[in-house]
Every structure is written in C-alpha cells, then in structure tokens.
C-alpha cells in the first residue's frame, strides 16, 4: 500500500477506522487493517472526511473587492451595477491570477471541488476564456465546474442567449439563468422554459439563480420545477438562492415543496450572502433572508450550501472556508439539533458532491483518495471550531498541511502556518 491512515473518525459516526490507499484510490476501510504501507499517518481520533465542495461560487468576480469602487449600499442591485462597471476593465490575465489565488486558498482549506458561475453577457467572453484556462491549470488538484451565467438576464441582455450557447460550445459545463432579473415575471418564466429546453436538447445540467429576492411573489422556482418535470430533467436541475421562499406564506410553500421534490430539483442556499444581501429594505421585523433549509430537507429535497462570493462587488469578506459557510447556515436556519448540525456538514460535503455529479467521491473502497483530516472529533465539533485542516490529500498525495490548532489554544492570536504543495 502507498498510504494507510490509522485511527480516524468518519463523518457517518464510525470511530477508530483505518483507510488504505493505493494508486490514488481508497482500497480498504475498516478497524485495525492488517496492512503495511510506505507511509502511515496517525489520525489520532480526528475526523477524516471527503473534501469540501462548494456548489455555488462566482470565481470570475472573486478578489476584485474595491474595483472600480466599493459597494456603498451593500445591496444586491448595486453589486450587479458595480460588476457592470468593472466588466469593461477586466483583463484575461487579471481574471486568471485572481482565480488561481483563490484556488490556492480553497485547497488549503480542503475545498477540492467548486461549481462557479461565469458571466456570459460580455460579448468578448473574456471571463469564460479565463476560467476555462483556470480549470485546465487546477485540474490536478481541484475539480472546477463552470456554469454559463447570463448575469444581466438571458432575454434582457443583447446577445446573452447566443453568448451562453457559445460558452457551452467552448467547454462550459452547465446552463445557468437568472429569471427574477428579467424585465417581467412573464419574461422570467419564458427564460426558464428556453434555457431548460436548451439543456434538455444538449444533455446538460441546469443551475439557475432563482428568486434571489425578498418578494414573496417571485416564484420562478415553481416554473423551474415544472420545466424539469416536463422535460425529464430529474436530478439534473438546481435552484440556487431561493430566498423569496423566506417571505412566502406557508400555504403556498406547502404546495411548492412537493412540486420541487417530484421534479428532482436540488436547492443551494448561500448563507453568508443571503443573510447579508436580503432584508435590506426592511426596518423591523427584519427578515433573515435565507431559504427554508429545514423544510426543504424535511421534504426530501437535497440542500447544499455555497460560498457564493469572496471579496467581490457583493461581499467584502470570505476566505474559501466551507466550515464558515456551514457555521453561518446552522445559525441562520436555527439548525442546532445534533442531526441538523450534521446535515449542515453534509451540505458542504456529500450533498454538493452529488449535485455536481462528482464521480468517486467519498470515504469508501473504490473512491478517489481525496481526503481532509480535520482537527476535530466529529462534524459538529468541526463546524463549532472551524477546525484546522491537518492535511489535505488529492489522489493519495498530501497537497496541504496545517498544524493542530488545539496545540495553539494557549497562544491567542497565533496564526497557524500552512505548507502548500500545489506544485504550480
């Protein structure tokens, strides 16, 4: 064997487990495996998990905070307007450099798969070309899945539908949309129909920004579920944000949830951004802004958490830490029961991996040896502490390490050093 990790706890509750790795894959999982390996790692009862997965991000905008100015109001609409101001100033090289820097941050935090939306409303498709190059460069250590995203509306913006199709032809993976940003509710519904029919014809997945609004009458998720059902897209469609659901009345939601489940549509909430951008027009009572995560889960609908933004026109903070995302999601959704907290860990690991269709994901024989050893005993403690990543492994090779944070608890403010081994 190449590597054996000894005495690890797993996210499903197993304790004292050994994991044997050869040729980049997990060969065996069990207690006290009678195997020898070139390298043995003592987990010491810490949590060994499959890597973190971000189901919703905007890598074309990341690390652009302050360019060309700061979002003074902090609103979604000013962020969109600011991004429109920035687009003419973008260069392909700057996009690539910022995205690669973010990917380094992500890997250090055990985030090895990201679904990123990329704006296709710029006729030059600079961002598309840049992120396709980033995808190629990071492929040895990170899975980057791209969504063709018509930020300004596929019907509202000139050439947006044509550009979306061009982006798909260039190698972008998923069809995106933003129906609530079209000029009317009717145009929004029409955009959903057009985009879902295109995806069905091309055999592609769909991931739409859907109802990112405080308006309870923004109900494009209903149309998305209907089109998914009509076109047989079950299991290939995701509705992201769904924040209008936090303002809908309970009777309507009681009808909507079974429709979403029947259509096989998954949901992605973005706790850090939803709690920041929504409810901006409220005084008090002030809405939380995130979609109904516990209710969606109870209805049997897969729910993942996304980071969405890091230091960009919409959000001035962030570090690529999906445990921070889970921590915020747990609080906003009031998911403080033991199983609910474990569900939040699933929302940044196994659930988004399934939504992205990742192959060989997990801690089981036959899976890729893509693993994160966390300085925590279980998923709840990992979220509570935003646990240090003792090691990050890709295909059986350690690509990042960090010392146990618990050893530094008596030294407040002492930063943990990180050893990068990306080899770029």
H-only helix segments in 125-182? 126-138, 160-170
Burial 162-191 (b: 16+ CB within 10 A, else e): ebbbbbbeeebbbbbbbbbbbeebebbbbb
From the list 40, 78, 182, 212, the catalytic residue is 212
Cβ atoms of 286 and 34 within 8 Å: the answer is no
Peptide bond before residue 285 is cis, with ω within 30 degrees of 0: yes
Distance of alpha carbon 293 from alpha carbon 302, whole angstroms: 10
Q: Residue 190 catalytic? A: no
Pairing of strands 25-30, 17-22: antiparallel
Tabulate helix, strand, coil % of the chain (nearest 5).
35, 20, 40
Q: What are phi and psi of 57, to 5 degrees?
A: -150, 165
Closest among 231, 176, 223 to 201, alpha carbons compared: 231
Pairing of strands 419-420, 397-401: antiparallel
- State CA 121 to chain mean position distance: 22
Closest among 137, 117, 125 to 87, alpha carbons compared: 125
Distance of alpha carbon 420 from alpha carbon 58, whole angstroms: 24
Residue 126, helix vs strand vs coil:
helix
Measure the CA dihedral 395/396/402/403, to 10°. Answer: 160
- Name residues whose C-beta falls within 8 Å of residue 193's C-beta, 6 or more positions apart in sequence: 223, 227
Active site residues: 212
């Amino acid at each position: 064997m190449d590597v054996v990790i000894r005495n690890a706890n797993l996210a499903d509750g197993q304790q004292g487990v050994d994991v044997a790795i050869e040729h980049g894959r997990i060969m065996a999982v069990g207690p006290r495996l009678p195997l020898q390996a070139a390298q043995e790692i003592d987990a010491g009862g810490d949590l060994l998990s499959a890597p973190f997965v971000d189901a919703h991000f905007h890598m074309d905008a990341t690390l652009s905070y302050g360019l060309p100015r700061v979002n003074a109001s902090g609103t979604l609409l000013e962020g969109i307007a600011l991004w429109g101001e920035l687009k003419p100033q973008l260069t392909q090289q700057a996009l690539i450099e910022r995205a690669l820097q973010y990917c380094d941050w992500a890997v250090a935090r055990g985030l090895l798969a990201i679904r990123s939306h990329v704006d296709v409303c710029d006729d030059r498709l600079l961002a598309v070309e840049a992120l396709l190059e980033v995808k190629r460069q990071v492929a040895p250590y990170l899975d980057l899945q791209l969504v063709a995203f018509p930020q300004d509306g596929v019907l509202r913006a000139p050439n947006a539908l044509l550009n979306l199709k061009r982006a798909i032809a260039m190698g972008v993976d998923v069809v995106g949309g933003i129906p609530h940003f079209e000029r009317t509710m009717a145009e929004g519904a029409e955009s959903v129909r057009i985009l879902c029919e295109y995806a069905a014809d091309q055999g592609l997945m769909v991931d739409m920004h859907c109802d990112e609004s405080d308006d309870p009458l923004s109900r494009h998720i209903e149309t998305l579920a209907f089109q998914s059902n009509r076109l047989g897209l079950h299991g290939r469609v995701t509705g992201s944000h769904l924040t209008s659901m936090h303002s809908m009345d309970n009777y309507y939601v009681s009808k909507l949830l079974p429709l979403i489940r029947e259509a096989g549509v998954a949901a992605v909430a973005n706790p850090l951004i939803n709690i920041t951008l929504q409810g901006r027009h409220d005084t008090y009572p002030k809405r939380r802004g995130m979609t109904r995560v516990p209710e969606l889960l109870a209805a049997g609908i897969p729910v993942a958490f996304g980071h969405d933004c890091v230091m960009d026109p919409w959000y001035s903070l962030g570090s690529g830490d999906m445990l921070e995302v889970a921590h915020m999601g747990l609080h906003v959704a009031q998911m403080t029961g033991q199983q609910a907290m474990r569900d939040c860990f699933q929302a940044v690991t196994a659930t988004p991996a399934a939504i992205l269709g990742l192959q060989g994901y997990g801690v089981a024989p036959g899976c890729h040896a893509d693993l994160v050893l966390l300085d925590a005993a279980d998923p709840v403690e990992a979220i509570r502490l935003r646990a240090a990543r003792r090691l990050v492994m890709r295909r059986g090779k350690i690509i990042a390490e960090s010392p146990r944070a618990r050893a530094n608890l008596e030294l407040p403010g002492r930063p943990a050093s990180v050893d990068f081994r990306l080899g770029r």
